[in-house]
Amino acid sequence: MDYRLEEDSLGKVKVPSDKLYGAQTARAVENFPIGEEKMPTEIIRAYGVVKKAAVLANYEQELISREKRDYILKAADELIAGKLDQHFPISLWQTGSGTQTNMNVNEVLANRISEMAGEEPGSKKPVHPNDDVNMSQSSNDTFPTAMALAAVSRTEDFLLPIFEKLQTELEQKAEKYSDLVKVGRTHLMDATPITLGQEFAAFSAQITDIIEMLKDSLKYIKKLPLGGTAVGTGLNTKVGFAEKAVKFINLETKNSFRVAQNKSAGIAAHDSFVNLSGVLKTAASFLMKLANDTRWLASGPRCGIGEIKIPKNEPGSSIMPGKVNPTQAEALFQVAAQVMANDTAVNIGGGSGNFQLNVAKPLIIHNILQSISLLGDAVKSYNQRCLKGIGANQEQIESYLDSCLMLVTVLNPIIGYDKAAQIAQKAFKENLSLKEAAVNLNYLTEAEFEQYVDPKKMTEPNLE
């Protein structure tokens, strides 16, 4: 491999000739040989937006020339478009402020500009990576700003639309099966009736709340500490820089980010990201229940509950012919477990740091972005390959309902809890129907039993 020499404050370093990064990045590659994870591309491209906004603000404040502004804008556009992704080799597991990634961005943009201007990479002409690309900035305020841009974009543009499609499908199932009465279950035991539609409606209500929680959590993420530089004080910036830079971020992203009132808080702690991760964990908790209920209700086909039928996507066993498994639900369950684990890491990362700097920024954003991606992919797959194709096994549902002992609950207001319990116990012990047991005990006539015990009426308030 061919190399060129680049120099930073510690001296000269070999850099691969086909790469646009410089000495600071090369040192980071050498000093952090940890794991296989790299900085998420969402962060790299969000950094392009940050650098564009910064140079535009600096130009408005007459701190940088038009020529340098135009060069940085052009290179940053390439970064945002993904044309420079191959020049970011640093491990995710680096300094907790993300400093190495910020310097990586500065160097790549500066060296790309050198190429544009016909200069040698590493010459720092016509643009300097620190003096120009990083003007009015620090890693400490730009990295959490990039974190916010990436998290908001992935949540709003990717995750929320998928959750909304899941909500729509659940609502359609709720309407379709609104009159199909079935056995309810609590503690995995028979309970009073519910409609299959009401069961789906409960899931729809859960995802509706989660969508609202996600939207609410983004309000706090959108407070940007940009302009705070090293410790939130704004050293080496001109008054008004933050407001101008955030204005340009909003023009670029078509969003509604705003300047954090206290930039030190946005650098030293990341409570808003901890909050977002908590909502993602809540979504995972809901999805775990949805997955497990799918598995239970589809269990069988002859020796389980079998109240719903799921699509047959692929063979389920290498040894048992004809077996079909709830694989989409199992994948969803596993993703939910991983997201819960990610939240634990974010919680620890959110509480880490001392004084004016949180030092787990890469950890926090890696886990949040992974959770968003996993949840979106898994829900999309479950919705398309399982939920849409779920149908009711009406014969099985009716069979269970006819034999359900907990239908006796409706008799409590009529004959009392104790007599109703005797009916249920006698029916179970002697293998009788509830009606037979009630008549044998002389608590009700057949006509009275049929008048009071109507499963459909038991799925709504029934007392006059």
| 464 band by pLDDT with thresholds 50, 70 and 90 | confident
Is 138 one of the annotated binding-site residues?
yes
Contact of 156 with 420, CB cutoff 8 Å? no
The amino acid at residue 262 is N
Catalytic residue among 87, 123, 264, 317: 317
Is 129 one of the annotated binding-site residues?
yes
Which of 155, 138, 157 lies closest to 361 in space, CA to CA?
138
pLDDT of residue 173: 98
Mean pLDDT of 203-222: 98
Average pLDDT, the chain: 97
pLDDT of residue 141: 98
Is 114 one of the annotated binding-site residues?
no
The amino acid at residue 204 is S
pLDDT of residue 22: 97
Asked: is 404-458 a CATH 1.10.40.30 domain? The reply is yes
Contacts of 429 (CB under 8 A, 6+ apart): none
C-alpha distances out from residue 356 to 60, 233, 366, Å = 29, 10, 22
Pairing relationship of beta strands 391-392 and 308-309 according to DSSP bridges: antiparallel
Give the pLDDT confidence of 296-337 residue by residue, as tens digits. Answer: 999 999 999 999 999 999 999 999 999 999 999 999 999 999
- State the sign of the Cα–Cα–Cα–Cα dihedral 289, 291, 297, 302: negative
Quick one: which H or E segment has residue 305?
Answer: none
DSSP H helical segments within 117-240, as ranges?
Answer: 139-153, 160-176, 196-221
| 282 band by pLDDT with thresholds 50, 70 and 90 | very high
| 56 band by pLDDT with thresholds 50, 70 and 90 | very high
Which of 195, 190, 198 lies closest to 434 in space, CA to CA?
190
Contact of 405 with 190, CB cutoff 8 Å? yes
Other Cβ atoms less than 10 A from the Cβ of 37: the count is 12
Contact of 397 with 412, CB cutoff 8 Å? no
| Structural domain spans, the chain | 3-135, 141-178+193-395, 404-458
Q: Is 317 a catalytic site residue?
A: yes
Is 131 one of the annotated binding-site residues?
yes
Cα 93 to its chain centre, rounded Å, is 21
Give the pLDDT confidence of 123-176 residue by residue, as tens digits. Answer: 999 999 999 999 999 999 999 999 999 999 999 999 999 999 999 999 999 999
Q: Give the residue carrying structure tokens 């057949």.
A: 446
Cα 166 to its chain centre, rounded Å, is 14
Q: What is the C-alpha to C-alpha distance for residues 287 and 276, in angstroms, rounded to an integer? A: 17
pLDDT of residue 264: 98
Mean pLDDT of 10-29: 96
Q: Is 366 a catalytic site residue?
A: no
* Position 1 pLDDT exceeds 90: no
Q: What percent of the chain has pLDDT over 70?
A: 100
Q: Which CATH number fits domain 3-135: 1.10.3210.10, 3.90.1150.10, 1.10.275.10, 3.40.50.620?
A: 1.10.275.10
Give the pLDDT confidence of 77-94 residue by residue, as tens digits. Answer: 999 999 999 999 999 999
Q: Quick one: 434 exposed, middle or buried, by C-beta within 10 A (0-12, 13-18, 19+)?
A: buried
* Position 372 pLDDT exceeds 90: yes
Is 97 one of the annotated binding-site residues?
yes
Assessment of whether the complete model's pTM goes beyond 0.95: yes
DSSP 119: P
Catalytic residue among 187, 204, 285, 373: 187
Q: What is the C-alpha to C-alpha distance for residues 360 and 268, in angstroms, rounded to an integer? A: 10
Give the pLDDT confidence of 399-432 residue by residue, as tens digits. Answer: 999 999 999 999 999 999 999 999 999 999 999 9
Architecture of domain 141-178+193-395: Up-down Bundle (1.20)
Is 140 one of the annotated binding-site residues?
yes
Is 325 one of the annotated binding-site residues?
yes
The amino acid at residue 22 is G
Is 99 one of the annotated binding-site residues?
yes
Q: What share of the chain is helix, strand, coil (3-state, %, to 5)?
A: 60, 10, 30
Contact of 389 with 310, CB cutoff 8 Å? yes
